[in-house]
Structure 1
Amino acid sequence: MRLTALPAFQDNYIWALQTPDDRTVFVDPGQAGPVFDAADQGMQPAAVLLTHHHDDHIGGVAALRQRWPWLPVFAPADERITLDCERVGENDRVQLPGFDFTVLEVPGHTRSHIAYLGHNHLFCGDMLFSLGCGRMFEGTPAQMLASLQRLAALPPQTWVCCGHEYTLANAVFARHIDPTNAALQRRQQEAQDMRSRSRPSVPALLASELQCNPFLRTNDSAIRAAVATRLGRAPADEVETFAELRRWKDGFRA
Structure 2
Amino acid sequence: MSGVLRQVTALRYVTPLREGGSLPGVVEADDLGTYVVKFRGAGQGPKALVAEVISGELARRLGLPVPELAVVHLDPIVARAEPDEEVQELIKASAGANLGMDFLPGSLGYDPVAHPVDPVLASKVIAFDAFVENVDRSWRNPNLLMWHNALWLIDHGATLYFHHNWPRAEAVVHRPYKWDDHVLKPYATALATEGPALAARLTPELIAEVLALVPDEWLDDDGDRDAYLNHLTRRAEQPEAWLP
TM-score category, normalised to shorter length: under 0.3
Q: Which has the higher contact order (CA 8 A, sep 6+)?
A: 2
Task: Considering fraction of residues, name the structure with more strand.
Answer: 1
For normalisation by structure 2, the TM-score amounts to 0.28
The alignment's TM-score, normalised by the length of structure 1, stands at: 0.27
